Amino acid sequence: LVGRRIALLGLAFKGNTDDVRESRAVPIARELIAKGAIVAGYDPAAMKGFSKLVPEVHLVNSVEEALKGADGCILQADWPAFSGLTAKDFRGLMANPVVVDGRRILDPKKMRDVRFHRIG
């Protein structure tokens, strides 16, 4: 993972909140950084609190900015803004569209043209 850019979408413990307590994004980000990845994080509400816990994450202002040039993407919170993303969105912005949906919010039928994994 050294030098790879990873987009981390959803920094709160769930969508529609700014609460980062018990957020799975915290250990995920720390592990990625420990393995040498460059992590770009985005969340509609939780970035301020998240930056206090994992200041090494590069916080960005939009989904598009997080995905731009990324080698992989991890969706970790179930924000409605994330559920409409499709393979076209990922292919158009990412260098290497590998997508891990940790909340099972993406439609697998719309993800056929990228490496897509659903977990959780």
- CATH number, domain containing residue 75: 3.40.50.720
Helices (H) and strands (E) in the chain, counts: 5, 6
Q: Mean pLDDT across the chain, nearest whole number? A: 96
Distance from C-alpha of 21 to C-alpha of 13, rounded to nearest angstrom? 7
pLDDT score recorded for residue 120? 75
- 95-112 per-position pLDDT tens digit: 989 999 999 999 999 999
Condensed to tens digits (0 to 9), the pLDDT of residues 40-55 reads 999 999 999 999 999 9
For residue 35, name the pLDDT band (cuts at 50, 70, 90).
very high
State how many domains the chain has. Answer: 1
Contact between 66 and 60 under an 8 Å Cβ cutoff? The reply is yes
Task: Name residues whose C-beta falls within 8 Å of residue 81's C-beta, 6 or more positions apart in sequence.
Answer: 44, 63
Q: Rounded mean pLDDT of 14-28?
A: 96
Q: Domain of 68?
A: 5-118
